[in-house]
Amino acid sequence: MNTTSAEYWTCAGQRSDAGTAESSSTAQDSTSIGATVPYAAAGPGYAGEWALFCDYTTATCQPTLPTTVAALTGFLTTLPARPATVARRVRAIAAAHRRAGHLLQRPDIGPAAPPIPPQQLPLLADPGPMIAACPTRGWPHGLHGRRDAFLTVLTTSLALPYPVARTLTPTAIVTGIADESLTDCDVDDDTDCLVAIAGQTVAQDVDPRECPACAVVRWLDILGTLDGLGRGSARMDLVTAHAPTADTPHTHRPKSPHRWRDAATLLPAIDQHGWLDDYRPITTRTMRTRMARTSDRAAQPVSEGEPPPGTAGVPFTAPAARQSFGPTAPALDEVLTVLDGVADDVDALNARIQALLNADH
């Protein structure tokens, strides 16, 4: 028995010897309650934790099974430990109560409070600025950006829960012409085409940069290239791609052939170098992280203090953490553009060196 438990027993003995008959009777009743509760009540896996709690309640003359919120809070406060140890002690006490047919009462706050269920992070109500803030070109940030925009459509525009969104397969997507009386020859504008996911029609926006339907098609096209033709082809497409502008035509129909329909999942795991895990979707934790970054990008100015698309007239106030970098700190898009230029220069230099080597041979 540790020193703290010995002090409890000593204090209880002193109260029993020097106290009144009422306190002596109370101590005897408490000891009797503790003695009738076996140390194995919580199961063999929690014998040590449950025995420690029984020692505490017996020494402090408090009920053991069922216990009270005051006894549980006092036990965890008087015997502090690491968070993992505290959680194990609470599980042991809860297991003993569950095995005995009791419901453990737990406080609303403190170390014994029940854990808060995970919830989706609060995001912007309008998915448009978030979609526009996602990169659409460059390697590999353009690949991650298109997936982030597609994820924004699923979780913000369509309000799909994270566990549902990560398990979607290509069979959940339907593309076609909105008016069944029209044919492909009659459709000149992609705004006449629709995209539906999991039975919901994806909304369209006037600005192609903020259009959810365009974001879906952009991701499907690059997913088909990455999954069907490989990483090299996807990199080539993204390096030579052009970022959408307000005057760019809408794209609501995926390119043929539809290689994305052969993908195992719509949200595959992709590492920082652009390597694809064919059959493993991203985790919900990664989804929350990516959405938080997307929301953060949408809250930043695009360039030279200009607000992001769709938020014209709304003044932007940089957080204090970002103001410390000074007004000359480059924006994310500017850094990515510079990196694209460096990558192009390196490719050109490698090609020149290879040409000289071939000429020598």
- Extents of the domains making up the chain: 3-100, 127-301
255: left (phi over 0), alpha (psi -120 to 50) or beta: beta
Determine the average pLDDT of the residues in 289-309. 68
Task: Please write the tens of the pLDDT for every residue from 70-119.
Answer: 888 888 888 888 888 888 888 888 888 888 887 776 666 655 565 555 55
CA quadruple 205, 206, 207, 209: dihedral, nearest 10: 30
Distance between CA atoms of residues 260 and 169, nearest Å: 10
The DSSP code for 154 is I
Q: Which residue has the higher pLDDT, 338 or 82?
A: 82
Task: Please write the tens of the pLDDT for every residue from 265-289.
Answer: 999 999 888 888 878 889 988 898 8
Provide the mean pLDDT of the chain: 74
**Position 17 pLDDT exceeds 80:** no
| pLDDT level of residue 331 (50, 70, 90 thresholds) | low
This prediction's pTM: 0.53
Sheet containing strand 193-197, strands side by side:
173-177, 193-197, 200-201
Residue that the structure tokens 């027993």 belong to: 9
**Position 20 pLDDT exceeds 60:** no
Determine the average pLDDT of the residues in 283-296. 88
**Position 12 pLDDT exceeds 50:** no
pLDDT at position 210 is: 92
Side-chain-side CA neighbours of 359 within 13 Å: the count stands at 6
> Which residue intervals of 229-283 are DSSP H helices?
231-240
Distance between CA atoms of residues 90 and 95, nearest Å: 8
Question: What tokens does 41 get?
Answer: 């009540």
Distance between CA atoms of residues 249 and 269, nearest Å: 30
With CA atoms as reference, report the closest residue to 195 among 251, 113, 243, 123.
Answer: 251
